[in-house]
Structure 1
Amino acid sequence: MSQEWLLSKQVRFGKVDQLTLDQSGNIYVSNLQGEVSKFSPDGKFMVEYAPTQVASIHEITASSQFKVSLFYKDLQEIVVLNRYLSNPIRYRLSDFKLGYVEDVAPSNQQSLWVLDISDFALKLVDYRENRLLEQKSLAQVLNQNLADILSFHSHQNRMYVIDKSSGIHVFDNIGNYLYKMMDKAPENAGFYNDYLYYKSNEELHLIHLYDGENLQLPIKGVAGARLAFANNRLVVLTPQGFNIYQYLSGQ
């Protein structure tokens, strides 16, 4: 283990498959049954959500500290929870006259970006009023026959489409294409403040979203491809749960 990182806590919680952090560093993990658990930044269990219908979660989004969004890809449903993981509101994506949704990215308190592969388009939906706000074809940027979209994210009024075959593409807040950020797409990427981060070759890369600066922090010995970073903490999934590491140098 690099001396810059301290393993501050190991949380044994059984097999979990999804992980995210909110703006305050609270930790959210889910299992294959679609149950979501929330932990404090130091790994203390707080609350849990258990759905009435068992299904795995494709994406957890907690970009707002006041709500958590769950995307059940197999069910083509979105579930919105409050910060206590209660009062679930369920939205069926078929109600928005969409085709097959491959991924979602909540934009603000009531809008949602979706990747509709039926017509290969980015669409912005107001899910409270059931209105389509924007629709932009991805064909202007990607070849549908070659595209292998790993994920896409809404962050600081921009959209980031991460495609395995061509890299990271950046769009503005209404879906207009801006530029390509990287030619090579990381398998698992996250966002923290003004940075995109990912793990590569036992290093944590933090790419500044606006000036392109690339910070590289060694994380030798940190096992696991799925991780999340915020507030000088690194949370890494393990077969037994997750580990929390503290960055000692204060970067």
Structure 2
Amino acid sequence: MAQCLAVVVLVSAARAQTVPNAASVAPAAKAAPAQTVMAPTPPSPDKAGEMGWELVATIKLPNPGPASLDRRGTLYVADASNNLRQFARDGQALNTYAPPQPGRVGLVEAWNLTQTLLFYDDRQQLVLLDRFMAPLSEIRLADYLPDATVRTATLAPDGRVWLLDESTLTLRTLDPQAGLRPQNTPLDLLIGRARPDFRFLRHYQNNLYLVDRASGIFIFDNLGNYQKKLPFAGLNYVGFRGDELYYFAADGLHFFNLYKLQERRQPWPPTPFDPASVRQVLLGEDAAYFVTAAGVLVYRLR
């Protein structure tokens, strides 16, 4: 059966007349436009595993940074120039946030419907955006923790920001309105003499999940009290979908039910998909996004 020709949709970023200010959502002058290529319809659905994969679009975005999904399935990806790109569920470009000053995006978190969190790890700064990609506030962490080195952060539903202070191995909370809060959790007793390699922090369903690449995933309640540890070492990132935590490995996607404590595995999409190229995987209700060095592959889940 003949395949349909690919339809190429070029989405050019709006050209700024001047350097964008802090409230600008226009792309920086040197930001390359994202290109979304709609994929041809495959000859037959993939029946391997519990999910069927259908490639629907390829977002051409060279050397992307961290990415995140909001609850509507909107995709947020930092590009090579550290602008934040926003894409619809089908891969079509929507908006771009260009920061007023340079900085490396170490984290993007868009799960909260009203705010998107950006963490610039090189300049130790948090930026909160609204759902239209306009800045709400900027927080210089040195104003609250002058001697700290924050490795990662996450946004709680009540607006608090949890921070991992790597210099003192402490979980801290920050209220953008009231400043630091007393819920600080020292981690030295949990870690002992081990050398942790903390990579990721996420607040999900009233718990905090702290990913240590060296040993596994530490779980705390929403007050910072230690609960337990999952022995999943070697990870840089974990995602959440329903009651499951997921991560990717060489043999596919792994799912762990947070309440039934059961694991399952989903095979990778069929060739020509290259698992070795994957940097990050994001799963929505009906779509999957594979972040690679060349951009983002958008799959429909069936």
Same fold flag (TM > 0.5) = yes
CA contact (8 A) 1:105 1:152 kept: yes
| Secondary structure in structure 1 of the residue aligned to 2:248 | strand
Distance, in Å, in 1 between the alignment partners of 2:194 and 2:227 is 22
CA contact (8 A) 1:2 1:219 kept: no
Q: Structure 1: which 5+ residue stretches go unaligned?
A: none
Distance, in Å, in 2 between the alignment partners of 1:247 and 1:183 is 26
Letter in 2 for 1:92: R
Residue 132 of structure 1: how far off its partner (Å): 1.9
Out of 227, 237, 241, which is 2:281 matched to?
A: 227
Letter in 2 for 1:68: T
Which residue pairs with 1:190 in the alignment?
239
Q: Structure 2: which 5+ residue stretches go unaligned?
A: 1-44
Q: Which range moves more in the overlay, 17-26 or 193-202? A: 193-202
Count how many residue pairs are aligned between Structure 1 and Structure 2: 248
CA contact (8 A) 1:27 1:40 kept: yes
Which residue pairs with 2:61 in the alignment?
13
Distance, in Å, in 2 between the alignment partners of 1:168 and 1:127 is 27
Residue 144 of structure 1: how far off its partner (Å): 6.0
1:130 partnered with 2:184 = no
Change (3 A) 1:63 1:112: same
Out of 45, 66, 89, which is 2:93 matched to?
A: 45
Over the residues paired in the alignment, what is the CA RMSD in angstroms? 1.8
Distance, in Å, in 2 between the alignment partners of 1:110 and 1:89 is 12
Distance, in Å, in 1 between the alignment partners of 2:67 and 2:232 is 26
1:70 partnered with 2:70 = no
Which residue pairs with 2:11 in the alignment?
none
1:93-242 map, 5 Å = 93-97=141-145, 99-143=148-192, 146-220=195-269, 221=271, 222-223=273-274, 224-242=278-296
Residue 95 of structure 1: how far off its partner (Å): 1.6
Letter in 2 for 1:64: N
Change (3 A) 1:17 1:144: farther
Letter in 1 for 2:279: A
Residue 49 of structure 1: how far off its partner (Å): 0.3
Residue 240 of structure 1: how far off its partner (Å): 2.9
Distance, in Å, in 1 between the alignment partners of 2:60 and 2:235 is 28
Q: TM-score with structure 1 length normalisation?
A: 0.92
CA contact (8 A) 1:21 1:27 kept: yes
Which structure has more RCO (C-alpha within 8 Å, separation ≥ 6)? 1
| Secondary structure in structure 1 of the residue aligned to 2:143 | helix
Distance, in Å, in 1 between the alignment partners of 2:54 and 2:258 is 27
Residue 88 of structure 1: how far off its partner (Å): 4.0
Change (3 A) 1:188 1:48: same
Larger Rg: 2
Distance, in Å, in 2 between the alignment partners of 1:111 and 1:94 is 17
Change (3 A) 1:52 1:190: same
Runs of 4+ in 1 over 6 A off after TM superposition: none
Residue 199 of structure 1: how far off its partner (Å): 0.9
Out of 237, 245, 248, which is 2:299 matched to?
A: 245
Letter in 2 for 1:10: T
Letter in 2 for 1:67: Q
Distance, in Å, in 2 between the alignment partners of 1:226 and 1:126 is 29
Which residue pairs with 1:28 in the alignment?
76
Letter in 2 for 1:61: E
